Amino acid sequence: MPSFDISAKADAQTLDNVINIVKKEIATRYDFKGAHIVVELDKKNFMVNLEFENDMQLRQLEDMLITKAMRNGLEASTFNFDKEYHTSGKVLKKQVTVINGLSKDDAKKVVKLIKDSGLKVQPAIMDDIVRVTGKKIDDLQEVIQLCRKSGLNLPLQFVNMKN
């Protein structure tokens, strides 16, 4: 029976490359010259730690992260910018969460979306992925298109397609 998996995992190596590209651009940009700007990737917790001096620099850093990530094949929704920054002396700090795996709530949203569509497939939550099985590959491809067009604001990947 054909099946595939829906996941939302960010590739650690690609993410590391994006951070290195952002660091190189910061070193060469005139508007960041002499400013205290730090961009670090915490690979263990999948967090990007930002240190900056003002709001304008924060907006520039967020824009650079999104732009470089999209050029390297990561979706913009991979980064969660919801947390507010906090002050630490003269420097402002912010932690940006990198989405790595579907949470239970997000997986339930995906399953509900698939079940409400009326397609003849069976979604099942397995840890941080959703496995979708069906009798026809065409139905599975319709599920992929449905998830892409749904606007769930998740960096979904469709992997492990089996016949």
Same domain, yes or no: 72 and 112: no
- Is the separation of the CB atoms in 1 and 135 below 8 Å? yes
Residue 117 CA to residue 107 CA, distance in Å, equals: 16
In Å, how far are 20, 35, 125 from 77, measured between CA atoms?
Answer: 19, 28, 21
On whether both 75 and 120 belong to a single domain, the answer is no
Could you identify the residue written with the tokens 């690979």? 43
Would the pLDDT of 87 be above 90?
no
pLDDT in tens, 109-162: 999 999 999 999 999 999 889 999 999 999 999 999 999 998 888 888 898 888
pTM score, whole prediction = 0.82
Verify that 90 and 110 share a domain, yes or no.
no
Domain range for 107: 3-8+102-162
In total, how many domains does the chain have?
2
Which CATH number is 86's domain given? 3.30.70.990
Assess whether 72 and 136 both reside in one domain. no
Residue with tokens 């470089």: 68
